[in-house]
Structure 1
Amino acid sequence: MPLSLPQLTLALFDDAHVDLKDFVAGPNQLAVNALSVWLAGDGPWFLMFWGGSGSGKSHLTQAAVRAIGRGNTRAMYVPLAEVLEFGPAVLDDLESMDFLSIDDIHLAAGDAHWEQALFNLYNRTHAAGGRLLIASAIGPRGLNFALPDLNSRLSAGLIYQLVDLNDTEKQTVMQRRAASRGLSMPDNVARYLIRRLGRDMREITHIFECIDAASLSAGRELTIPFVRDVLGLN
């Protein structure tokens, strides 16, 4: 039987290296605690995270579904940034999921068809007894969906703003990411990358993927000279 579009979405955009245990909460511990309650099936059925690029919202929304999906519970991660081109039919029948996670919902603002589909899915999920986790780069008061009822629905849940980590916490993120790939990243290498590449965690994570591939190909350990050569830094 061919995979449905939602099944393809999960297969294509599931990152095996994203795990809740690797998330560095820092100042976002209350949000992580709320997610643990949500995952246990307790507390409010609807939870929303919002924050800027690299704040960790995509990590949490995807890792939550991976954690749930290891059992018999039905769970789905839907990254709107990757599936908008397929149209709102992507959301059809997703209320059948026990746990549903939708990332980058702000990207649907201004598209009447997507807004209506999200509103309908919200209502169907609630009626079916499912649990919904949503992430956005913009807080609910700033989303300004053209559909007023969608704005009101998204403002009615448990909402947490995710804030940036400090440099020490970002260093820990990088080292945990490396460890999940079987690599050891010394403190001086992590500090070098943060200092030279900026402090946006999304960018740092992307750069790490390049370094990881180069290290695997060359069979080299992570050192400052090696990293500098891979990235073409002086």
Structure 2
Amino acid sequence: MAETQNLWSQILKEIKQQVEPQTFSTWFDKTEEFSLVNDTLTIKAPTKFFADWLDQHYKSFIEEIAYNLTAEKIVVDFIGSTNNAPNNYSFSKSSKFDVSLDTGLNPRYTFGRFVVGNNNHFAFSAAQAVADKPGKIYNPLFIYGGVGLGKTHLMQGVGNSIVNNKINKKVLYITTEDFTNEMISAIQTNSTINFRKKFRTFDILMIDDIHFLAGKEGSQEEFFHTFNTLYNAKKQIILTSDRPPKEIKQLQDRLISRFEWGLLADIKRPNYETRVAILRQKCDEEDITLKDEILEFIAENFDDNIRQLEGSLVKILAFSSYKNIKPHQIEVTDVKKILEDMMANRKRPVTLDLIQEEVAKYFEIGKNQIKEPTRKKEIAFPRQIAMYLSAKLIPHISLLEIANHYNKKDHTTIIHAKKIITQKLGKDQNLKSKINEITEAITK
């Protein structure tokens, strides 16, 4: 046990130097060594939920530190202790999910665990269609979007659906980095034939973060031929990226062209309702009860990606575990303090509600008055300004979404509002000053 304590304490020192203080206190302060057996270091976390989170997000990071310290390959496992958890704080559903060595798939990434909203419905439907008829529809399927929005989950959902339904298909999930590393290793060991045979015999090949091929001419050349072989054999190819093909710089035109042969499906940031649904699902999976106002508070303040939502939730659960109180006893005032550091440097997300609120405040009318079906100038004009600013400050949403927000039947009302305000701005410097003031209040 002394050896284990010594190794883990050394690892903790390295971790502390490489992560933010708040990150260290949240995730690592309450961890303990458990055992070191046959090069497997087992670490005990406060709860199973924490153990699962550490396994997903820090396992490879810690194993790399362990290797640097020992010059030996150490496998790090995490277990959770429920001894300190409140009675109703059950983690029975948070059992460890082992990645399959044969397919590279994480069994937690299924369609059933994927929360569908307006931001990802199209991509989800496409993924389901591909899972039902691999190689026959949407080939390749190219899923793109920002970090932490669920691209990997959706991609692997296809693979897990095929595996779980016992469809006789060879499936492989791999990151672009691992694909490139295997290719380099094959060149160094004169085993490129085996490398090509491996990747060109799968029925479903899923490659994550394909944008990392940018600037790597050798890897692009190899993948070009792998792509052609699989495509011509009607094998399914699924790719993810943080941007559409044409926006990936230093990528061969012939690859860009091929990536666009099938279907491009983007995943946007989740809206408020979807964010709440994601938080509710996570609580259900872990059998955790939190007040509705807490979930709503998180959803209102963290809109960039799903990882932020999960991170916020885990910090709250850490507080519950450390203070030995039941999650449902936590109040919003507690949560504001718990998440204070995460929110300190964060600007408010620009939303339709925020724009509506700030415009109403500026013109000294009630927030809900803007939506009233009246043509009175003191209401109608601020409403037109709110519509104009909505289209200007949130360009990724449709005019129809803005119209629905203001209880209008179609987008023509928004077009009219934009036209009216634009015309007035060209003549009225006072109005221009007012809109600048409102914009500053919204984006501060």
Partner of 2:202: 97
Amino acid corresponding to residue 190 of structure 1 in structure 2: L
Partner of 2:171: 75
Partner of 1:183: 288
Distance 1:128 1:86, change over 3 A: same
Alpha-carbon deviation of 1:211?
5.3
1:32 to 101, 121, 124: 124
Alpha-carbon deviation of 1:29?
2.0
Alpha-carbon deviation of 1:193?
2.1
SS in 2 for 1:26: coil
- Distance in 1, matches of 2:222 and 2:241, equals 17
Find out whether 1:148 has 2:279 as its counterpart.
no
Partner of 1:228: 335
Alpha-carbon deviation of 1:20?
0.8
Q: Are the counterparts in 1 of residues 245 and 260 from structure 2 also a CA contact under 8 Å?
A: yes
- Distance in 1, matches of 2:328 and 2:181, equals 40
Number of paired residues? 226
- Percent pairwise identity: 19
Distance 1:151 1:232, change over 3 A: closer
- Distance in 2, matches of 1:88 and 1:147, equals 18
Give the structure-2-normalised TM-score. 0.44
Give the structure-1-normalised TM-score. 0.78
Distance 1:208 1:74, change over 3 A: farther
Partner of 2:56: none
2:217 to 93, 100, 112: 112
Q: Answer with 1 or 2: which has the greater Rg.
A: 2
2:183 to 76, 84, 88: 88
Amino acid corresponding to residue 221 of structure 1 in structure 2: P
- Distance in 1, matches of 2:329 and 2:179, equals 40
**Higher relative contact order by CA 8 Å / sep ≥ 6: 1 or 2?**
1
Partner of 2:242: 137
1:122 to 208, 211, 227: 227
Alpha-carbon deviation of 1:110?
0.9
Q: Are the counterparts in 2 of residues 96 and 128 from structure 1 also a CA contact under 8 Å?
A: no
Spell out, residue by residue over 1:10-59, the C-alpha distance to the aligned partner (whole angstroms, 9 max, x if none). Answer: 54964443221232332232222222211111423321111112332122
Partner of 2:150: 56
- Distance in 1, matches of 2:209 and 2:316, equals 27
Amino acid corresponding to residue 55 of structure 1 in structure 2: L
Structure 1 residue ranges, 4+ long, deviating more than 6 angstroms after superposition: 213-217
- Distance in 2, matches of 1:34 and 1:219, equals 43
Distance 1:89 1:175, change over 3 A: farther
- Distance in 1, matches of 2:122 and 2:233, equals 28
Structure 2 unaligned regions, length at least 5? 1-97, 186-194, 342-444
Distance 1:144 1:161, change over 3 A: same
Alpha-carbon deviation of 1:166?
0.7
SS in 1 for 2:128: helix
The answer to which of 165-174 and 110-119 deviates more is 110-119
- Distance in 2, matches of 1:173 and 1:222, equals 18
Q: Are the counterparts in 1 of residues 127 and 155 from structure 2 also a CA contact under 8 Å?
A: no
- Distance in 1, matches of 2:279 and 2:208, equals 22
Spell out, residue by residue over 1:107-159, the C-alpha distance to the aligned partner (whole angstroms, 9 max, x if none). Answer: 12111122122212211211333101111111011113442221211122111
SS in 1 for 2:206: strand
- Distance in 2, matches of 1:85 and 1:204, equals 32
- Distance in 1, matches of 2:128 and 2:312, equals 30
Partner of 1:66: 160
Partner of 2:391: none
- Distance in 1, matches of 2:199 and 2:179, equals 16
- Distance in 1, matches of 2:268 and 2:339, equals 31
1:21 to 95, 101, 112: 112
Question: What is the aligned-residue RMSD (CA, Å)?
Answer: 3.3
Distance 1:122 1:209, change over 3 A: farther
SS in 2 for 1:76: strand
Partner of 2:344: none
- Distance in 1, matches of 2:266 and 2:220, equals 22
- Distance in 2, matches of 1:223 and 1:124, equals 58
- Distance in 2, matches of 1:150 and 1:208, equals 40
Distance 1:184 1:44, change over 3 A: same
The answer to which of 155-164 and 224-233 deviates more is 224-233
Amino acid corresponding to residue 17 of structure 1 in structure 2: R
Partner of 1:47: 141
Q: Are the counterparts in 2 of residues 174 and 205 from structure 1 also a CA contact under 8 Å?
A: yes
